Every structure is written in structure tokens, then in C-alpha cells.
Structure 1
Amino acid sequence: MIKTIFNVHPYAMELPGGGEMQIMKYVQYMPGECEVILHDIWRPRLREARIFHHFHMVSGAEGFLAYVKSLHSKVVLSPNLWINATNSENLDLAQIRQYYEIADMIVCNSRVEIDNLSEFTDIPREKARVVPNGVDLSFVTPVSDSDFRSWADIRGPYLLSVGNIERRKNQLASIRAARSLGLPLICIGRIREKEYFDACVRDGPGDTFRFVGHLDQDDPRLAAAYQNCEAFLFPGQLETPGIAALEAAAAGAPVIITKEGSAREYFSDLVEYVDPNDQDAINAALARTLSRPRTNDLRHHIVSNYSWPHVVMHLLGHYLELGFNK
């Protein structure tokens, strides 16, 4: 049996997002031939596994990873990073390259993510592998929308956004697009940036911006929200591509998503791509989406290629490539 230890920075689960959800889905769907141990600093089990999988490159873990490697473990790194004008100036390239040097394998969410990191950070391509993001097939199963509508206090048609409220997710652009068509935008998630949330409230008076809070992934109200929205809006500053967008697609919702990131590698020509900084283009993409009849093409594409059980087999294959089976 393969054993691997999962580790992430100390405050990751305080306000979990897609990256943290990815970790827990790996745990949930990992096949029986691989045991996953969640690293606990108070009860470390570092010598029980020969693979140590570290997620994110938040400052401060380099020394720890070097120590883990000294125990004859193979270090797998998931950067969960996309670089563009919004974040490139804040990167510590020396630190990133130190992470790369320690890692025996670097797991990215797409081929284009490897290209992006190669351009900005000289990622060693020989170490890079792809494991795409995934989606729970539970979102495909039809559910009644009555409980969701009662909880969200929504009766007519609505647009949907799912994700933490923060500048990177660009909810303000979604609010303005919804307002341009006179539809309410239901936002599900947590508040990660309070000042940005306050700006959303100011910009979405009345029913335009409806923040209803967080729903767990297995809550049928979340599936109902996806299945019954007029469209799912995700014009973030960058996405890789975002688990929520995959869930919306699996549920049958039309998707408008940012062109910044790896979304095109997942969704092909089956969604609308937008410049997150072009409000007129976002408004127009939404109008086009709502004018077209729905099809099942996007749903079938996502379900066939990106279910979590299918995705995790890619990860298991990469672990086997490292040569350890105990």
C-alpha cells in the first residue's frame, strides 16, 4: 500500500476555498490502495509515509519541507498558483524557486498552468505533472429547489455566484452585470475581505446583491442553487478554473467565466469567456448566454472528464511514478 501525508499552511482551513476543497476531495476519493494521513503538528507521523504532499506555497514551509525530505521522503508540491498582473509584483521568486528545488514532483491543475509558471517562475518542467480539478457527480442528480428558495428568500429567476467574497473573485463585476439585466445575484460563500463585501453591498442595492452565506458541498440546497439559476457568473481575476464553476457546469447551469487562468483547457468552447476588467464585455456575455437555449453539452463534457474518482486516479498514478509502494 502507498502512504502519503497531506500538509497545508496553518490557517488554510480558517476560511477554506477551492484549494482546500481540492485537498479534502483527494482524501475522500483516494482509492483503497493509497492511505492518506493528514499532518498533525501535535502528533506527527512523518516516518510512516514515504510521500509528503504539500499544498500551496505560503511563506515559511521551506525549512520544514527540507527537513521532511531529509527523512528520505519524496516531496510532492501543489502550488495552486496562477500569475498575472494582479499578483506578479507580490511574488518572492527566490522563495518559489526554493520550493521547486526541494520538491521531487510538482502537481499543477492544467497544462496551461505549467506554461504560466514556466514563464514567470522557471518551474522545472521535468518535475511537473497535471492533476485537474474535479467535481462531485452528486450535482448532476436533480433536486427540488423549494428548500433553497425558501432559505434564500428568492422566488423568480436569479443569477448565481459561489465563492468567498474577495477582490480576486470580482463579485462587483457580477453585481453590475446582474443589474444591467434587472436580475438578482445570489452569492453563496464566506466573507474573506470585509471591505470588499461592504463595497458589494453599496453597489448592489435592493435585491441586486443577495449574500446568503455558506453552504456545505453536500447540502442539497447548493445543488438546487446551481441547477435552477439562469446562469453562473465567475469573472474572477484568475481561476484554475475553480471548483464552483465545475459544479455549476455539472449541474447544468450556463457558465460565464474569466479568460484569465486555465478555464479554457477544461471548458473548451462550451462557456462564455470574459475579460474580468471589461464590464461591458461581461454584461454582453451574460446577455448572450441568457438569449440561447440550454443544452446538455457542457454537463456531459464535465461529467465525462472531471469527476473526482476519475481525477484522483491521475494523482495515484503520479505517486506510483515516485517508486514507493509502502
Structure 2
Amino acid sequence: MDDRSLETPDTEPTAARWVASRSHGPYAAGSAFLHAPSFAFQAWGGGENQLIQTGRHLEGFDLPVRLFHPWTDRLIDARVLHLFGMSREGLELAKAARARNVPVVLSPICWYEPRSLWALEPTVARKLAAVGLWSMRRTFPAFSGWRRELLQLADRVLPNSEDEAEQLIRMFGVDRRRIAVVPNGVLPDFGWGSPQLFRERVGDFEFVLFVGRIEPRKNPLGLIRATRRLGLPLVVVGEAPPQHENYERLCRREGGDRVVWLESLDHHDPLLISSYAAARVFALCSWFETPGLAALEAALAGAAIVITPHGSTRSYFGDRAEYARPGRVDEIGAALSRAWREGPRPGLAAHVASNYLWDRVAKLTAEVYDQVAD
């Protein structure tokens, strides 16, 4: 492990300060320009964390990075343009970069799951349209569209797992030779945490933990119902993104006095790290995950994991987690019961520490930059 890539919680700036400092002012020649859609940081999630931690740890390898600012930055100055997430905004930027002979790297951060499309679309018409488009893409990967165009423009595509890579090949015809799998990562801080701060500020009790957005895709409501049936305490860390406030109110109403609610915490907040360390079980029974950064953090902290089978979760956790489908409250309950009773699977924390720390993610990313830019 290269210690230059690690910063301690005492000295590392908050994510917001880091974003601000890398978005304005002068930048080094040959910087990698990192870009996310302009709406991305309005509702914090795993994609935003992936961008920030990748950037921070690339700097640990002495690679200059810049968060692309369209009003002041010139693409011609970039060594490489790295897009996080797929958007029409990113497509136009990729076209401009290619016109200036600037290499384009794309981390799609995507998963197309027909079960989630059917479950989450609000009307039957939209359910049928969404699943129909998925079926068309699956059958005719050469079917035109802006996502396919963006994927074809990228010099390298960096899915987070082999499962995501196979999906991109099947649905969009991406050339495997342009794919380099770069996994999601986790900070080693989560493996060093103590439960003491949580016990002092919140309480000294055993509990199931959920960390994430309070929205239908993450399915905290299904988790709340399952824990209430079992009589297990649940701690929820997170808040609703815009337009999901009614869903959060429903979750709070159903949770009642069996759920402890904590507001969304900065990624380096000692209370978040302590919450993972104090949790007996961590649960993320979403409609899909790729693979759920919070689940990796909790696994490194030593919690037993209950997670959705939809997405790329099995690529990361294998047989070291309990799996429960989001639409089955009884199944979630059974998985929680096993995890509560049996504890974390042997070797889980060591597996995460060996394969998914951010310094390794940054090293793989830097190797891609070298391939496309030199």
C-alpha cells in the first residue's frame, strides 16, 4: 500500500472543501479533468463519492486532477477527460474533447435492471415503456441512442464490475478491448473505527444499520417493515433527495419508535465511522446496487451484511453476505435473522481490505490514463 494515497481524518478536508478547491483557481498543466453532470452534487450519493475519492487518491500518486469548470477551463489543457456517470451533458463534452484530441475515459456507474424499472416507474404505461426499451436494447445492441454514442466515443470505459461490463457489451455493443474494470472503493478509516462515539451520542444498544438516500430505489421502507416484524432496532443515516420527501415521511411513520434517525453525515464524520463500528448488521436491500459503497464500508468495519442480489453485489461479496430481494419483506427478515444470529462471514473484512481500498482503485485508474494519454 502506498501511504501517500492515504490522509487521516484529522487532516483531510471535507468533501465540500475538496470539491471547491479543485473547481476554481489555477491548475497544473496536464491535469486530468474530472466531470460529473451539473446536477450531481445536489443529492449526494455513491457516484459523487466515487468521483471525489478517485480524485483524492490520484493526487496521492502525484497526478494532478481538476474538477472541470465549464466557465473557465479549456479542454485543450487536459491530459485526459474522465466522465463519471452517463449524461447528455457528458456526451457533448466528450464530443468537444475528441475534436481536440483529448482522450476520454468514462465511468458509466450504471445498471439496467428490468425488475427495478417495473417496480419503480409510477404508472403502468411508463413501466411498459421502460421494460420495452430495456428489451429492445438487450435484443438490438446496435440500436442508436445518446448512451450508446457516448460509450462509443470513450477511449476507455471503466465499469465497476465484470457484471456491469457484460451488460454494457450486451446492451450497447461496447468493444471489450476498450473496457477496463475498475472496482468501487472504500477508505481504510472504516476499518479502524470504534463504537464508543456512537454509544456516547446515540445509545449503547445493538442494531441494524442503513446508510443511504431515503428513496424508493434504496428500499428503506422494506427494511423498516422487516425489522419491525422481527423487533430489531434500526438506525437510519441519510435523508431524502428532492422529490422524495413524501417517501421519507412514510418511512418515518412506519418506523415509529423502533427506528433511530440520524441526518446525512459527511463521509469523514467520526460519528459515521463509529456507527459502522457499532452496527451488528448492515442492510441495503435496494432494487439494485453496484455494489453499494456503504455496504463495502460496513463490511470493512466488521458488520454482517444483508444486501440485494440485484446488480453487481455478488461480484464483490460472493458468499460472504446474506442476500434478500427488495420486494420480499419475509425474505429480508429471514436474511436479517441469519445475519443477526451468525454475525459477519469469515474473511469478509479482509476480503474488502485486500481488494477494494481506494488506493488500489486510483492505481488502476492511473494505469488507464497512461494507456490512453501517452
Does the alignment reach a TM-score above 0.5? yes
Task: Quickly say closer, same or farther: Cα 1:159–1:323, change in 2 above 3 A.
Answer: same
The equivalent of 1:176 in structure 2 is 225
SS for the counterpart of 1:23 is helix
Distance 1:165 1:205 in 2: 16
- Listed one character per residue, the Cα deviations across residues 258-293 of structure 1 (whole Å, up to 9, x for unaligned) are 000111111111111121112111110111111114
**Quick one: which of 101, 107, 120 aligns to 2:171?**
120
Partners of 2:311 and 2:344 in 1: how far apart? 25
Say whether the 8 Å CA contact 1:276–1:282 is kept in structure 2.
Answer: yes
Shift of 1:150: 4.3
Distance 2:108 2:281 in 1: 30
- Do 2:309 and 2:325's aligned partners in 1 also have CA atoms closer than 8 Å? yes
Name whichever structure is richer in helix by fraction: 2
1:132 is aligned to 183
Q: How far apart, CA to CA, are the structure 2 residues paired with 1:309 and 1:319?
A: 15
1:198 and 2:249 aligned: yes
Q: What is the aligned partner in structure 1 of residue 120 from structure 2? A: none
Cα distance in 2 for residues equivalent to 1:64 and 1:321: 21
Percent of paired sites with the same residue: 33
Which of 74, 79, 82 is residue 50 of structure 1 equivalent to?
Answer: 79
1:222-261 matches, cutoff 5 A = 222-261=272-311
**Inter-CA distance 195–119: structure 2 relative to 1 (3 Å threshold):** farther
Alignment TM-score, normalising by the size of structure 1? 0.93
1:218 counterpart letter in structure 2: H
The correspondence for 1:213, drawn from 259, 263, 281, is: 263
2:46 to 18, 28, 43: 18
Secondary structure in 1 aligned to 2:235?
strand
Q: Secondary structure of 1:80's partner?
A: coil
Q: Which residue of 2 aligns with 1:59?
A: 88
Q: Which residue of structure 2 lines up, in the alignment, with residue 111 of structure 1? A: 162
Alpha-carbon separation, structure 2, partners of 1:96 and 1:293: 42
Matched pairs, number: 321
Partner of 1:264 in structure 2?
314
Q: Are the equivalent residues in 1 in contact too, given 2:87–2:147 (CA < 8 A)? A: no
Q: 1:158-213 CA deviation, whole Å, 9 max, x = no partner?
A: 11000011111010111112112212211112211212112212221222x32211
Mean CA deviation greater in 92-101 or 239-248:
92-101
Deviation at 1:48, TM superposition (A): 1.6
| TM-aligned CA deviation for residue 121 of structure 1 | 2.8
The answer to whether the 8 Å contact 2:304/2:343 transfers is no
Give the Cα–Cα distance (whole angstroms) in 2 for the partners of residues 102 and 295 of structure 1. 42
Distance in 2 between residues matched to 1:198 and 1:123, nearest whole Å: 42
Confirm or deny that 1:274 pairs with 2:324.
yes
Distance 2:70 2:30 in 1: 22
- Secondary structure in 1 aligned to 2:88? coil
The corresponding residue for 1:29 is 57
Alpha-carbon offset, residue 142 of structure 1: 3.5
Name the TM-score, length of structure 2 as normaliser. 0.81
What RMSD, in angstroms, separates the aligned Cα atoms of the two structures?
A: 1.9
1:167 aligns with 2:216: yes
1:250 Cα deviation (Å)? 0.4
Letter in 2 for 1:314: L
Does the residue aligned with 1:203 lie in a helix, a strand or coil?
helix
Q: Which runs of 5+ in 1 are unaligned?
A: none
- Aligned match of 1:157: 206
- Residues 43-68 of structure 1: CA deviation (Å, up to 9, x unaligned): 11322223101111123332232012
C-alpha separation in 2, matches of 1:5 and 1:170: 34
Contact (CA 8 Å) 1:77, 1:105: kept in 2 or not? Answer: yes
